[in-house]
């Protein structure tokens, strides 16, 4: 299991990534994956589709994709790394 300092927004289980690249722009590097639903999106140094996903769905927690054991998570609602 991923061990992080948790906030109330982190789901109990990390969702399985849905795609291998950002479905909005096709980016395949520096991707983030939504912890709630597994939506894959590019980071804010690209088009910020991860942030857009949060605005559209209210899913605040993302992790870097591909997922790693020691990967960090970012909570948009809290505005901090977990």
Q: Which residues bind Zn ion (CB under 5 A)?
A: 7, 9, 22, 24-25, 27, 34, 36-37, 39, 42, 47, 49, 57, 59, 75, 77-78
Q: Given the complex with Zn ion, which of 22 and 63 has the nearer CB atom?
A: 22
Q: List b or e across 49-76, with b for residues whose CB sees 16 or more CB atoms inside 10 angstroms.
A: bbbebbeeeebbbbbebeeeeeeebbbb
Sheet holding 74-75, edge to edge: 40-42, 31-34, 61-65, 74-75, 80-81
Q: Given the complex with Zn ion, which of 14 and 36 has the nearer CB atom?
A: 36
Q: Given the complex with Zn ion, which of 9 and 51 has the nearer CB atom?
A: 9
CB of 54 to Zn ion, least distance (A): 8
CB of 40 to Zn ion, least distance (A): 9
CB of 31 to Zn ion, least distance (A): 8
Q: Kindly state the helix (H) or strand (E) to which residue 20 belongs, with its residue range.
A: none
């Amino acid at each position: 299991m991923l061990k992080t300092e948790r906030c109330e927004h982190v789901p109990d289980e990390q969702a399985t990534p849905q795609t291998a690249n950002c479905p909005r722009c096709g980016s395949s590097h520096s991707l983030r994956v939504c912890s709630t639903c597994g939506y894959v999106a590019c980071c804010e140094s690209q088009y910020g589709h991860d942030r857009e996903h949060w605005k559209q769905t209210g899913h605040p927690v993302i992790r870097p994709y591909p997922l790693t054991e020691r990967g960090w998570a970012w909570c948009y609602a809290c505005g901090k790394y977990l």
